Amino acid sequence: MPLDQPILFQRVPTPPWGDFNDRKYVGYDDYVKADGYAALEKCLGMEPADVVEEVKAAELRGRGGAGFPAGMKWSFLPPLDDGQRFLAINADESEPATFKDQVLIQYDPHLVIEGIAICMLACQLDTAYFYIRGEYHHHREVFEKAIAEAYENKVFGEGSRMGKVNGRVPHLYLHRGAGAYICGEETGLIESLEGKRGWPRIKPPFPAVQGAFARPTIINNVETLAFVPPIITHGADWFKTLGKGRAEGAPPTVPASFGTKLFGVSGPVKRPGVYEEHLGVKLTALIDDYCLGPADGVSIKAYFHGGISMGVVSQDEAEQGVEMDFDIGKKWNNLGLGTACVTVIPEHVSMVAMARNCARFYSHESCGQCTHCREGSKWLYKLLTRMERGDGTTKDLDLLLELASSMGSMPGNNICGLSDGANWAIRTIVNKFWDEFEAVVNKPTGVSLAVLGA
């Protein structure tokens, strides 16, 4: 059933819930007029542990890519001691073709700020850092304006309506990234926040125990935190009426797909954009109903359904009924839902070229700490370049798959998930579009890489 009332996009007056023509910046006063900050007020009368319990009961899963249950993460924090505790908001949004968080930042920053304040109160985190992608110049200005409004209205700072949090005056600071994909990985982000090179850390210890400045730190995505105010206002049971829910027969301990989600769609469709729908919406419905179908003259071959790191689904699979929920990986042999930002790949695009381009991205963005990732991503790029040029052999194709699978997160292989993303992206492209790879290794295309600018 299509979503009749959006949760995050409720300030957009008309459907579809994502049409940018109708959007404007919602400042503090307008936000309050629409019951904004009422959830924070409600939390002021609650025990912090009860707020955490509500978010846990809602089974809100992280919207940054990994889908980890937010309430559970919050409950990993150690008991209070005398020291500081931090919240880092992940607004790095660096996964290719992902642009959903920026819509919240640009138009509804107070929804995010209210979620931040509630998280700080619930988890007793005195200081929050909003880590924003370096390229988001305009969004940074908008968000700084919203932070200033929040300070003026005593959400943060001296005289905050939250009083003291963890025995300190609560503060929210904005910190700009400098354009590295790896700084979206939570511990790379922490290192960068501390002023160091964005090298992910070995876990454990997990950030909730030892994060920024070696103190307990919660890291959540922008969209995840934006869901917190509506959950507090309407309750966990209400949230669980939305979305796909739990897979049939799955025990309650298995994380499910409750709530709505922001889906970004880019590529050759008539109306690209960011749309809010139930988790579990059919991929074809997103394309046909929200995006009004492919652009004129385009037929679709495949999709990156969650950024590039989750791999691809083919148009055939989409027509068989791919649903955009957290179980997409299990059903359609890819890594998972990821950022749920879809890139449409038209029929005329070579999947070999597409794979090579992805490999180039990963080899450039690998931080270089782990051998499998540093060397593997470079070799993937080299092999794919050779194949696309027409110099590849069938042996290269076998080698490519062997290499990609060796890059996965076997214990001790990798510090972070970048290498996993690289190998899944390439493996699903090769496995699902085998014919195209076979054709280039058997029949040289003769396409010169100089022409392609590589």
Ligand X SMILES: Cc1cc2nc3c(=O)[nH]c(=O)nc-3n(C[C@H](O)[C@H](O)[C@H](O)COP(=O)(O)O)c2cc1C
Q: Does 93 bind ligand X (CB under 6 A)?
A: yes
- Residue closer to ligand X, measured from CB, 224 or 357: 224
Name the residue type at position 250: A
Distance of alpha carbon 139 from alpha carbon 278, whole angstroms: 26
Taking each helix axis as running N to C, give the angle between helix 434-442 and helix 371-389, from 0 to 180 degrees, rounded to the nearest 10.
Answer: 60
Q: Does 170 bind ligand X (CB under 6 A)?
A: no
Binding to ligand X (CB under 6 A): which residues in 105-124? none
Give the one residue of 116, 182, 212, 324 binding ligand X; rule: CB under 6 A.
Answer: 182
- Residue closer to ligand X, measured from CB, 315 or 419: 419
Q: How far is the CB of 6 from ligand X (least distance, A)?
A: 20
Q: How far is the CB of 153 from ligand X (least distance, A)?
A: 26
Can you spell out the DSSP letters for 224-244? HHHTHHHHHHH-HHHHTTSEE
Residue 128 phi/psi, 5° resolution?
Answer: -120, 140
Q: How far is the CB of 362 from ligand X (least distance, A)?
A: 9
Q: Does 201 bind ligand X (CB under 6 A)?
A: no
DSSP state of 165: B
Q: Which stretch binds ligand X (CB under 6 A): 106-114, 228-236, 298-306, 415-423?
A: 415-423
Binding to ligand X (CB under 6 A): which residues in 202-221? 219-221
Site for ligand X (CB under 6 A): how many residues? Answer: 24
DSSP state of 66: S
- Residue closer to ligand X, measured from CB, 255 or 390: 255
Q: How far is the CB of 389 from ligand X (least distance, A)?
A: 28
Give the one residue of 124, 192, 224, 334 binding ligand X; rule: CB under 6 A.
Answer: 224
Q: In 83-136, which residue ranges form alpha helices assigned H by DSSP?
A: 101-107, 109-123
- Residue closer to ligand X, measured from CB, 208 or 397: 208
Binding to ligand X (CB under 6 A): which residues in 27-86? 62-66, 68, 70
Q: Which helix (H) or strand (E) holds 173?
A: strand 171-176
* Tokens 């304006």 sit on residue: 145
Q: Does 416 bind ligand X (CB under 6 A)?
A: yes
Order of strands, edge to edge, in the sheet holding 312-314? 273-278, 260-266, 341-346, 300-304, 312-314
- Residue closer to ligand X, measured from CB, 62 or 306: 62
Q: How far is the CB of 278 from ligand X (least distance, A)?
A: 19
- Residue closer to ligand X, measured from CB, 99 or 181: 181
Question: Residue 432 is encoded by which pair of tokens?
Answer: 């699902």
Q: Where are the beta strands (DSSP E) in 284-380?
A: 300-304, 312-314, 323-324, 341-346
Q: How far is the CB of 384 from ligand X (least distance, A)?
A: 20
User: Is the CB of residue 315 less than 8 Å from the CB of residue 301?
Assistant: yes
Residues 6+ apart with CB under 8 A from 218: 73, 74, 77, 86, 87, 88, 119, 123, 125, 207, 208, 211
- Residue closer to ligand X, measured from CB, 219 or 256: 219
- Residue closer to ligand X, measured from CB, 90 or 314: 90
Residues near ligand X, by CB under 6 A: 62-66, 68, 70, 90, 92-95, 181-182, 184-186, 219-221, 224, 416-418
